[in-house]
Amino acid sequence: MGNGMNKIIGGVYVGNFRDSKDIDQLTKNNITHILSIHDNAKALREDREYLCIVASDTPEQSLVEFFPECIDFIHKARLSGGNVLIHCLAGVSRSVTVTGAYLMTATKLGWRDALNCIRGARNCAQPNYGFQKQLQEYENENLEKARAEFKAKYPDSPFDDARDCEINLKSYRHFLSTGETSPGPELYALPHRAYGDRKRGNNSSTNLVNKGEINEKLGDSPVNKESNSGNIDMNKEGKTCSDNLDGISQEKGSHSGNEDAFKGDKCDKSEESDGLSVLKGKIECACVSGENCECENS
């Protein structure tokens, strides 16, 4: 939200309120038109053409009624050779919704792909659930007619919007499948750790102990077992064992917080103990007090 405006397709940018006042960004991106949509939208500069829509960022706020006016404003700006900045306060919800409606009308994208196309260039794009529902209803109830009217009004388009959208969608899908934020020179590079906070896998409470991470502690054999005992994380030196569910961390040879949170018995087993495979030597037992300990029951 604070990384500047983002180019979605040729001539169309999405940003926040701060970006709309940043003369350096406006000049650099040749912004000639500004679509401002937020609670106190108003023209701020005399050297840009404005469309101001007063609307709140609440699920109950209707944006569909503004779609035709916004779509015309955006497309006319592009046809005139200018670039348009669409912004709200954070550049996350209202502006993204309006941009999504434009993409749906000017291309063949449905509402989901339109949002993902925007996310491919602006990772923070996330309209509230009410706006997403409005985009879905727009697709189901109004889009066919809106596209026909758009095509009749603007029969010849000089833009290759389908290609631009596919670039963004490919960029978005590439990251979701590989985790790479810079997939290649032909794609729009995403910011560092663009989706770094997203949870992967079916069980978000399960962490993997990566291969080789505890070799120094346990020996040369790698470990790649799933730990199902409440998010047990171990650093590269194998010194720290923490139970994230209880917020308790234990350093080797000492306790912090609740002294009885962990049992201090030694484990000689070379089989699975509390979800962690012990390859050689002895390690501290990580079983939580009150649970059945395989080490003790065996």
Identify whether the C-beta of residue 236 lies closer than 8 Å to the C-beta of residue 264: no
Largest Cα–Cα distance in the chain?
Answer: 80
Beta bridge partners, 7, equal 13
List of long-range contacts for 284-291, beta carbons under 8 Å, 24+ apart? 284/241, 284/250, 284/252, 286/229, 286/232, 286/241, 286/243, 286/262, 287/229, 287/262, 287/263, 288/229, 288/230, 288/243, 288/246, 288/261, 288/262, 289/260, 289/261, 289/262, 289/263
Q: How far apart are CA 8 and CA 31, in angstroms?
A: 13
Q: Is 49 helix (H, G, I), strand (E, B) or coil?
A: strand
Query: Of 70, 88, 241, 267, which one is the catalytic site residue?
Result: 88
- What Rg, from alpha-carbon coordinates, does the chain have? 27
SS3 4: coil
| Contact yes or no for 235/241 (Cβ under 8 A) | no
Distance of CA 60 to the CA centre of its chain: 24
CA–chain centroid gap for 145, Å, is 32
Tokens of 250: 């234990």
Buried b or exposed e, range 91-129, using 16+ CB within 10 angstroms:
bbbbbbbbbbbbbbbbbebbbebbbbbbbbbbbbbbbbe
Is 295 assigned a catalytic role? Answer: no
State the catalytic residues: 88
